[in-house]
Structure 1
Amino acid sequence: MYRCSLEKMSDKIRTFSKFGDAGHGGITRYSLSDEAKQAREYYTEKMKKIGATIEMDDFANMYATLPGSDPNAKRIVMASHVDSVKNGGNYDGILGVISAMEVLETVVAEKIPHKHPLTAMIWTNEEGSLYPPAMMCSGVVCNEYLPEGIAKNFKEENMLASKSVLDRTTTFGEALEKSGYKGAKENRLSPDKYEAMFELHIEQGPILENAGLDVGVVTCVLGMFNTRVKFYGQAAHAGTFPMEYRQDALYAAAQAICYLHEEIDKLGHPELVYTTGEIVAHPCVHTVIPDYVDFSIDVRHEDPEVLKKVYQIVRGLDGPELAKCRCEVVDQWNRDTVYFDKKLVGYVKQAAEELGSKHQYINSGAGHDAQFAAYVLPTTMIFASSEKGLSHCEPEHTSDEVCTESASVLLNAVLKCDME
């Protein structure tokens, strides 16, 4: 068994944390920004130093590849992203890139024999923080393999036209052209050139830490659905309109949210998660009764039958009035549970066992580029435990030791795949 270097992992974690340093422990590193370009430049410098060949595809996804002993063998790729959310942490996404780089560096330093070419890859715009949607470029590259209901949301022309959330003017396509990282379409990830894909990521939840474990052997990305619940009332003056006559859309929405929590919890599925993360109120003036409120409901679980039951509860709000306000439920999008390749999952499990890593099977409630890649070629993921389960925020942290342990699991799982 081989192990990655704690010293080298620590150095890369510290170095990448400078690119987009927000000044209080985290980073803001939007895709194709100057900060993201700094991260790409450092990746390129380190990978060229060990003799890797650098390629870019037409959506600025980057591929650093070490040749293998078999010239006819397909590549094994380790992929993640360097972009972040606003005021995010130093591990989400980037740990997967760091670990992939460390795997290649260890293979060279230890002169580890391998027949397949090994690739450390950067996916562009996974977060979608500046140019929505999330997982944009994996959605484009994998588009022809995705279910139609998902593929339609990632049409190439629409992604290129996506506008910056900051200036509402600059498009992703314009940023791509100016980035200096736009390459050739023939360099895209594809099943004719690639054997398998691994993605290492922080867990972004508390399950591993609470169990006293370091490494997650990921089996799937959970299925989910997202809807909007809209209430239509009547605006009126906050001080002069009697309570008994009001059609308060916000009050109706509050009742609906409480109802959903009560009814969904009655189903008794502890692994089921659901969230109202966005509420829009109109006119949003403190002296006016709201006449329109629109809130989101995001629901995730592995079992499609459980999702169907929750969906029926949500759809039950459609039509009837609450607090004298009409309700409308509008479907946004959904996805099926994406199961990872059993053979690759087995390699990760074996690697963790042989290294003596504290680990367990786990699923992913969050979306990742790997879930789209799984439709294209055998794919799996590895999780590193997250302290306090925190992610997408500046306190996000995973110890250097756990990061290195997870990278070592990645290294040995890849080598098992290479020996196939």
Structure 2
Amino acid sequence: MYTCSIERMKDKIETFSKYGDAGHGGITRYSLSEDALKARKEFEKRMTAIGAIIEVDDVANIYATLPGSDPDAKRIVMGSHCDSVKNGGNYDGILGVISAMEVLETVHEHNIPHKHPLTAMIWTNEEGSLYPPAMMCSGIVCYDYLPEDIRSKFCYDDMMVSKSVLDGTKTFGEALEKSGYKGEKKYRLSPDNYECMFETHIEQGPILEDAGNSVGIVDCVLGMFNYRIRFFGQTTHAGTFPMPKRRDALLAASQALVYLHEEIDKLGYSDLVYTTGEIVCHPCVHTCVPDYVDVSFDARHEDPKVLAKVMEILKSCTTKTWAGCSCEIEKAWNRDTVYWDKELVGYVKEAAEEIGVSHQYIHSGAGHDAQFCAYMLPTTMIFVQSKEGLSHCEDEYSTPEDCTNGASVMLHAVLKKDKQ
């Protein structure tokens, strides 16, 4: 039985980690940056070496395709992204690219028969770290198939003027033109020329490691909502205004957040996750009582009924007075749970069983390009164990063995689909 090469896997991980090396174990590799372009060149070089045909679409997504025996068969695509967050790790995103490369290299090395063309790809600007929003180019490519509330955020023209968060002047469209990777729209992933998509990714959590399993059979991306919670008080002098008369918006926010945690935890759902991760405080001066605080609130769960219960608790914050301050909430965005194609999920599970890789079913709490692709094509994901569950940081790590297991599982799942 064919398996992917751990030595090739190690080599690719080591090589790609040089592009954007931040000097202390991880990378900063913004989309279309000089380092990201080097990673793309490496991808092209290695794929061309095995006879893959390179195509680039109009938003710089790259496709490397090994022809199949049936010239009329649609392609089976595998891939992820090569950009990172600031001071990110060497596995998030790029492992999915490396794994797709490894599948094609293994098929080429062993001359494995296959009917469908097999494609490895790089999605552009998944992280949105330099040019918001996240999953920009999968949103553009899958635009016509996305739900209306999502589609409205990914208009091509709007994305071209997305400004760099570093200097606020250079736009994504300008970076795209300068990159040399603005290809043709006709090469975009679409149901006309693609059969389905697979994406391998690190788990980014501790569930697989805690269970002692190498690979996750992902069945869905969790539904979620993201809100802003705002508190309105009054600015006064920190040294002269009596405590009983203050309307401290930061104190109000702290009381409300404790309330939210206590009430949501009472619901008793161990698989429910929620986060208040961003805060804006005004005037943010040590001698001033804050008059305005804005915090983010992010909740995720598979069941919309559970999220509805969380929403009721969130809404109840607006009916209370917190430290003399009023409160309002506003929706930033939300998504329903996205379920992967059952047939493809079944192939992934069969593949893991047949090659003897320890595995389990698992949900994805994070969003991925595959999530948008699933509205357009049959799609699924494979997770690889993350050491201590760490991700979006320089300590992010997955063993070469687990990475190779993930690629091997994808290889055999793809071959199963190819024979179908």
What's the TM-score bracket when you normalise by the shorter of the two chains? over 0.9
| 1:229 positional shift | 0.3
1:150 aligns with 2:147: no
Q: Which runs of 5+ in 2 are unaligned?
A: none
Superimposed CA distance per residue, residues 333-355 of structure 1 (whole angstroms, 9 cap, x where no aligned partner): 10000000000000000000001
- Counterpart check, 1:331 vs 2:331: yes
1:109-148, Cα deviation, whole Å (9 max, x unpaired): 0000000000001000000000011100001110110000
Deviation readout 1:328-383 (Å, 9 max, x if unpaired): 11111100000000000000000000010000000000000000000001000000
Match of 1:179 in 2: 179
Residue number in structure 1 paired with 2:54? 54
* Alpha-carbon distance between aligned partners in 1 of 2:227 and 2:108, rounded to the nearest angstrom: 49
| Aligned mates of 1:36, 1:194 — CA distance in 2 | 26
SS in 2 for 1:154: coil
- CA separation in 1, counterparts of 2:304 and 2:95? 31
**Which amino acid counterpart does residue 153 of structure 1 have in structure 2?**
K
Structure-2 separation of matches of 1:158 and 1:79:
25
Aligned residue for 2:401, secondary structure, equals helix
- Distance in 1, Cα, partners of 2:266 & 2:150: 30
Distance of 1:418 and 1:324 partners within structure 2: 64
Alignment-mate amino acid for residue 191 of structure 2: P
Alignment of 1:3-402 (within 5 A): 3-402=3-402
Cα separation, 1, equivalents of 2:214 and 2:352? 10
1:320 maps to a residue whose letter is: K
| Equivalenced residues, count | 420
Structure 1 distance, partners of 2:406, 2:317, is: 45
Give runs of ≥4 in structure 1 deviating > 6 Å: none
Instruction: Give the AA of the match of 1:343.
Output: E
User: How many angstroms apart in 2 are the aligned matches of 1:311 and 1:227?
Assistant: 10
Structure 1 residues 62-105: Cα deviation after superposition (integer angstroms, max 9, x where no partner): 00000000000000000100000000000000000001001001
Instruction: Return the offset for 1:319.
Output: 4.5
TM-score by length of 1: 0.99
Question: Secondary structure at 1:12's aligned position in 2?
Answer: helix
Whichever residue aligns with residue 287 of structure 1, its letter is T
Question: Once the 2 structures are TM-superposed, how far is the Cα of residue 320 of structure 1 from its aligned partner?
Answer: 3.2
SS in 2 for 1:196: strand
Structure-2 separation of matches of 1:362 and 1:123? 24
Q: Residues of 2 paired with 1:384 and 1:79: CA distance? A: 14
CA shift for structure 1 position 170: 0.5
Q: Name the amino acid aligned to 1:385.
A: Q
| Alpha-carbon distance in 2 for matches of 1:264, 1:6 | 44
How far apart in 1 are the matches of 2:309 and 2:157? 36
Q: Give the TM-score taking structure 2 as reference length.
A: 0.99
Letter in 1 for 2:343: K
Deviations 1:363-414 (A, max 9, x none): 0000000000000010000000000000000000000111011110010000
Corresponding residue of 1:406? 406
Counterparts of 1:126 and 1:47 in 2: how far apart (Å)? 21
Q: Percent identity?
A: 71
Distance 1:26 1:8 in 2: 20
Report the CA distance between 1:318 and its aligned residue: 2.0
Question: Take 1:277 and 1:153, find their aligned partners in 2: how far apart are those partners?
Answer: 22
Q: Distance in 2 between matches of 1:398 and 1:116?
A: 30
Compute the RMSD of aligned alpha carbons: 0.6
Report SS of the residue matched to 1:24.
coil
* Distance (Å, rounded) in 1 between the aligned partners of 2:404 and 2:319: 54
Alpha-carbon shift at residue 230 of structure 1 (Å): 0.2
- Give the SS at the match of 1:383: strand
**Residues in 1 aligned to 2:161 and 2:323: alpha-carbon distance in whole angstroms:** 41
Structure 1, gaps ≥5 residues long: none
Distance 1:352 1:143 in 2: 33
What is the identity, as a one-letter code, of the residue corresponding to 1:377? L
Deviation at 1:157, TM superposition (A): 1.4
